[in-house]
Amino acid sequence: MRYWDDLQVGEKFGTAEYAMTAEEIVAFARQYDPQPFHTDPAAAQQSFFGEHVASGWHTAAVSMRLMVQGEMAVVGGVIGHVIEELRFPRPVRPGDRLRVVQEVVEKTEFPGRPTHGRIKLRCRTFNHDGKLVQDMTANLVIQRRGAGAV
Amino acid sequence: MRYWDDLQVGEKFGTAEYAMTAEEIVAFARQYDPQPFHTDPAAAQQSFFGEHVASGWHTAAVSMRLMVQGEMAVVGGVIGHVIEELRFPRPVRPGDRLRVVQEVVEKTEFPGRPTHGRIKLRCRTFNHDGKLVQDMTANLVIQRRGAGAV
């Protein structure tokens, strides 16, 4: 388990894969993004996308799961502070297997909270063809070594 | 139902409310953000947050649902292109009732896709105390009038 102190700018971390099924795409969308191109595979053919695609929020949620369970295990958990940019360059489709590559791009103090530090992390989600489906730059709050149990 | 042509810079749209329960906070987090401050109300007391809080991705997903079903009904659906910023200034807790206020802040052509236009939308999610829990600026792709069924 890593503290803020252990992370270096330029370090990269990987994750496992997550298989997106049509069933889960529909279930997530019914609850959180009820639009036909997500909830109805047949109606999706006539939509902007021309095919059944996952909600971007579903892709973001799955990416979070992969990161929480991925190589970059940090003490105290992964706490997002400000997401600077979140792009969906390509849709996610049923059958896609997603994985995330995280890279530490900046490391700064956390003014007013000496027990924690901040890192800026670029998190790219790829499908099994190696195509980029989500590109996010996030600022995380991470516990510092010797800060005690918080 | 509105087309891109009908939306004006400065226009605001509201949504219904969504009640966040401890059960749904735990269920979402078990699937997509399995960290103790989201999945375990007791363990959350000893975490960074000091209380049981929702995943930011859960707040984002609920905000999307509210917007899809909200006042700003657009032809062809709400399609996010690039999210410029997504902040979580305050945690969401069990019992919070969320609502979103959307404001059109910019309106531009969509080069290379004459059937659609873009708007920049500021989407602020508030809890029932009127406190800001999510602040997002998103670029959406919206169908233009007279573009035909797409």
Sequence length of chain A is: 150
Which residues on neighbouring strands pair with residue B121, listed in sequence order? B104, B138
pLDDT digits (tens, 9 = 90+) for B9-18: 999 999 999 9
Task: Name every chain B residue with its beta carbon within 8 A of the beta carbon of A67.
Answer: none
Partner-chain contact B77 A36, CB within 8 Å: yes
Interface contact B35-A150, CB threshold 8 A: no
Q: Is residue B104 part of a domain?
A: yes
Angstrom distance (rounded) from CA B148 to CA A2 = 54
- pLDDT tens, A60-108? 999 999 999 999 999 888 888 799 999 999 999 999 999 999 999 999 9
pTM of the model: 0.95
pLDDT digits (tens, 9 = 90+) for A16-73: 999 999 999 999 999 999 999 999 999 999 988 999 999 999 999 999 999 999 999 9
Residue A149 in any domain: the answer is no
For CA atoms A20, A23, A26, A28, give the dihedral sign: negative
**Number of independent structural domains in chain B:** 1
Q: B132 burial class (0-12, 13-18, 19+ CB within 10 angstroms)?
A: middle
Secondary structure (DSSP) of B53-86? ---HHHHHHHHHHHHHTSS--BTT--EEEEEEEE
Does any domain span residue A95?
Answer: yes
pLDDT at A43: 95
Domain annotation covers residue B77: yes
Determine whether the interchain pair B87/A82 forms a contact, defined as Cβ–Cβ distance below 8 Å: yes
d(CA B64, CA A51): 21
**According to the model, what pLDDT value does residue B113 have?**
85
The CATH number covering residue A119 comes to 3.10.129.10
- Three-state SS annotation for A120-146: EEEEEEECCCCCEEEEEEEEEEEECCC
Q: Identify whether A109 is part of a domain.
A: yes
User: What's the confidence (pLDDT) of residue B71?
Assistant: 96
What's the domain range around B117? Answer: 4-143
Residue pair A98/A32 in contact (Cβ under 8 Å)? The answer is: no
Within a domain: B148: no
Is residue A150 one of the residues assigned to a domain? no
Which residues, including other chains, have CB under 8 Å from residue A1's CB and lie 6 or more apart? A73, A74, A75
Please name the residues between 80 and 139 in chain B that touch chain A, using a CB distance below 8 Å. 80-88, 116
Task: Name the residue facing B83 among A28, A32, A86 (closest C-beta).
Answer: A86
Of the CA atoms within 13 Å of residue A118, those in its CB half-sphere come to: 15
* pLDDT grade for B147, boundaries at 50, 70 and 90: low
Q: Which value, in Å, is the radius of gyration of the alpha carbons in chain B?
A: 17
